[in-house]
Amino acid sequence: MGKEQHTFDIYSPPKIEFVRGEGARLYDADNREYMDCAAGIAVNCLGYGHPHMVESLKKAAEGIWHLSNLFEIPGQQKLATRLCDNTFADRVFFTNSGAEAMECAIKTARRYHFETGNPDRVNILTFEGAFHGRTIATVAAGGNEKYLEGFGPKAPGFISLPFGDHEALKAAIDETTAAILVEPVQGEGGVREVPGQCLRGLRELCDEHGILLMFDEVQTGVARSGKLFAHQWHDVEPDLMGIAKGIGGGFPLGACLAREEVAIAMGPGTHGSTYGGNPLAMAMGNAVLDVVLEDGFVESVNDKAIVFRQYLSELLDTYPDLLEDVRGSGLLLGMKAKVPNVELVAALRDQGLLVVAAGSNVIRILPPLVVNDEDMREILNRMRAGLDAYQATMAG
């Protein structure tokens, strides 16, 4: 008794009951404070209780909560226009999650080739270590065996290639290739950045072969990288891009962005979503952009990130037995651990600091983008305390 659980036993959360949040801090039922460098996994970009977000949601709650896409939805054209004005894109399809945004991108890529007389171009080239979501198609795109096992036949049409192997990539392109799909910085895969030169190389390959370039910016997007979108560091543009996480600031929202020529392939009736782009989601997406598109906001993220990363780098010298490098872009940061990353995550949590484990034995540090100097100092204090405590257990 008392241990009854009626949710799927998929996650094993620590026994902490978070009851409120403020900025970059969370508080449990005993009012213990935690510095939050998980931020709902790069979702809560404006932290907790941001006044503009709270006001916007209250206002939206007094309006129409839901309207089918059979009708013109308030806020949709505004949010789509703002996303297009600030990116390569001309058209947007709204979803409720990152996986759905990627599903739409995958369908759009195939449909584009179908409509332009190349129905055999169906295969999507992806990279080892990728993560694109947990639906049947997106686990196939991610190619991670652990996520595919036991779920029946892997959806066809996804070819996973070694990370950074140009020859393998060139050899994989043929007349069945529809698109190349890549995260500019792999998040789940261990905060692995794709060099700008490689992204530009992918663009050239795509142009040469008439195939589409798709970016998954579900985690890297909406100023997380220190630019509005991570690829904007590198003078390269995709044909299709999936976003989610930060764009809703905590409200479930995703989007597939596309160039006109590509989006046009998705004509009436080709796709749909009951909830995607609903009025509440549009209000929250617009509220996030009200803040993120303010003059200087994105630059401020980058400025903070440079300082923060410098501090993290200094930890490498202090804890050479625990940490081996600092990586990432903007406030999507990772530290590669020399000891099991999940043990470090737990040791930091014991000191009131929340971080996230990622692939390649990395710990991910994803503070809300509104993190301030005092927060950053406190994060570092707790990080040192956690690393000291861990080191003491090793010595003992």
Ligand X SMILES: *Cc1c(COP(=O)(O)O)cnc(C)c1O
- Nearest-approach distance from CB 352 to ligand X, in angstroms: 25
- Nearest-approach distance from CB 178 to ligand X, in angstroms: 19
Give the CA angle between residues 274, 275, 278 to the nearest 5°. 125
Backbone angles phi, psi at 226, to 5 degrees: 95, -5
Chain centroid to Cα 139, Å, comes to: 15
Give 177 or 219: the residue with its C-beta nearer to ligand X: 219
Give 105 or 322: the residue with its C-beta nearer to ligand X: 105
Give 34 or 131: the residue with its C-beta nearer to ligand X: 131
The residue sitting closest to ligand X, measured at its beta carbon, is 98
Show the DSSP H helices in 144-190 as ranges. 145-148, 166-172
Q: Which residues bind ligand X (CB under 6 A)?
A: 97-99, 102, 131-133, 183, 187-188, 216, 218-219, 244-245
For residues 315 and 329, is the Cβ–Cβ distance under 8 A? no
- Nearest-approach distance from CB 223 to ligand X, in angstroms: 15
Give 25 or 231: the residue with its C-beta nearer to ligand X: 231
Give 218 or 371: the residue with its C-beta nearer to ligand X: 218
- Nearest-approach distance from CB 157 to ligand X, in angstroms: 18
For 71, residues 6+ apart whose C-beta sits below 8 A from its C-beta are none
The number of beta carbons lying within 10 Å of the beta carbon of residue 121 is: 23
Give 106 or 379: the residue with its C-beta nearer to ligand X: 106
For 182, residues 6+ apart whose C-beta sits below 8 A from its C-beta are 126, 127, 130, 194, 199, 202, 214, 215, 216
Give 74 or 164: the residue with its C-beta nearer to ligand X: 164
- Nearest-approach distance from CB 29 to ligand X, in angstroms: 27
Q: How many residues does the chain have?
A: 396
CA distance 208 to 190: 31
Q: Is 76 exposed, middle or buried (0-12, 13-18, 19+ CB in 10 A)?
A: buried
Strands 332-337 and 158-161: unpaired
- Nearest-approach distance from CB 133 to ligand X, in angstroms: 4
- Nearest-approach distance from CB 25 to ligand X, in angstroms: 23
CA distance 234 to 242: 18
- Nearest-approach distance from CB 101 to ligand X, in angstroms: 7
CA distance 122 to 111: 9
Give 8 or 71: the residue with its C-beta nearer to ligand X: 8
The pair of structure tokens assigned to 186 is 């792999």
